[in-house]
Amino acid sequence: MAVRLSPKILPAVIALGLLALGIPQTGDSVLWLMTGDTPGQPGAASPSSGAEAARNAALLERADDWFGDPTARIRAGILRLRMATTNSDGTAAVSVPELDHALNDLTDGLTRAPANAIGWAALAQASLAAGNRPQARAALATSLLLDDNDPELSLWRCELGLALWNILNDDERRMWNDQVNLAWRKHSHDVVALAHQNGRISALLIRLALLSDRTRLSEFDRMYNDQR
């Protein structure tokens, strides 16, 4: 007769089994396996529904409770950030209680695992959504200082930098310029879309960031004008 394990103890059983096999595996990774997401990507995969997102976030929070894994708490915060800033139909929105939950998860996780560039970028976005621009600026700068050469984060940082441009200092603006050039290599069409999305000032700032490479600048101008 088959024995069915309770969902509440299944993660612990999986973790113990992996440890017995000599495979180093944290509770975070176990929960990612259970929820069907890929731990290597920034944040978390976009859930197919709000209910699924809430379930996955709760599982990741439980992973931290059980295994003391702050990375799981950070990923839960990123999921809750998505839930807080997006309606079920994909349109932008802000749910204050969910945003507060996201901020708490991100702050808690980053306090214990500060060398997480993705988490700091998420905290910048969450802080911006909450109207705390100084905290958003500090979080973005921390993310850039930790890892300024990740093309998967570059476009996200470009958007955050545009929103915070008027309070960035000279060093932060130089780092942002580097992100624009990094994003251009892999996400050129998205960079152009970002320039259109945020109006003439954004297009000008992106164009200035690309001035160091005339070929790249010419390509941006062509693509930007084609999309008008």
For residue 15, name the pLDDT band (cuts at 50, 70, 90): very low
Q: Do 189 and 111 fall into the same domain?
A: no
159 assigned to some structural domain: no
In a domain, 160, yes or no: no
What is the average per-residue pLDDT within 33-48? 45
Domain boundary residue, one of 96, 113, 147? 147
DSSP H helical ranges for the chain: 10-20, 27-35, 50-67, 70-85, 96-112, 117-129, 133-146, 151-164, 170-197, 199-209, 214-226
Flag whether the pTM goes above 0.85. Answer: no
Q: At what angle do helices 27-35 and 70-85 cross, to 10 degrees?
A: 40
Beta bridge partners of 2: none
Specify the CATH number for the domain of residue 140.
1.25.40.10
- Tell me the two tokens of residue 85: 């800033």
Q: In angstroms, rounded to a whole number, what is the distance separating the alpha carbons of residues 62 and 67?
A: 8
For the segment 143-172, the average pLDDT, to the nearest whole number, is: 94
Residue that terminates a domain, selected from 87, 113, 147: 147
Domain limits for position 205: 170-228
DSSP string, 101-160: HHHHHHHHHHHH----HHHHHHHHHHHHHTT-HHHHHHHHHHHHHH-S--HHHHHHHHHH
Structural domain includes residue 134: yes
In this prediction, residue 51 carries a pLDDT of 78
With a cut of 50, say whether residue 54 has pLDDT above it: yes
Question: Using alpha carbons only, what angle is made at residue 78 by residues 74 and 79, rounded to the nearest 5 degrees?
Answer: 115
